[in-house]
Amino acid sequence: GQLANLEQRMLETGYLDGSKMAAAFNMLRASELIWPYFVNNYLKGQDPMPFDLLYWNSDSTRMAAANHSFYLRNCYLNNTLSQGKMELAGKRLSLKDVKIPIYNLATKEDHIAPAKSVFVGSSLFGGPVDFVVSGSGHIAGVVNPPDKQKYQYWTNGKVAGTYEDWMANAKETSGSWWPHWQIWIENLADERVPARKPGGDALNAIADAPGRNVMARV
């Protein structure tokens, strides 16, 4: 069907063009990411407002055909990852085998990874999970430096019941979630180590940051 058609088109070039990926994301929120520009810029002749996040959003990425096909089939269509049936390099993967502590962040207005889905996913791991919800959306809710004093976040202990019930009884705290994460990680390991230097050992640096791929225009 639809996925098979997409796979056939990707085989022609070996990748999914970045513009196609950008269009897919924009259509998830067409009322905000498509139609305002048609009305305000095209019909009304207004200049678009400068918006750093949308500038970042316009930097689309090509997706390798094999990688994208595997991802769509195993994380969406058949969702074998959530069922513990995904196979990679001859090994079966189960999230229940992940027993390390996890800080699982969702953002309340995220249209790409909805908070409710992240909440459900939190129950699939085999170890302790701290589920936290940040205000705002997919990017601004995550990249939220504390000095900006923007948004808020919600905490409510163990992941249980429904997302709606969890949120109804959650504690709301003003500001960035970053300090909360820092306390969480320091309670697990408070030692400091030197910053890692990219390259060397078994993985040599390919190019200086930010790399060659980000310079390609698609």
Domain locations along the chain: 2-91, 96-188
pLDDT band per the 50, 70, 90 thresholds, residue 206: confident
Cβ atoms within 10 A of the Cβ of 139, count?
16
Counting residues of the chain whose pLDDT is more than 70, the rounded percentage is 100
The whole-number average pLDDT for the span 109-136 is: 96
- Give the separation between CA 78 and CA 67, rounded to whole angstroms: 15
pLDDT in tens, 176-203: 999 999 999 999 999 999 988 877 778 8
Give the global pTM: 0.85
- Residue 124 CA, distance from chain mean position: 18
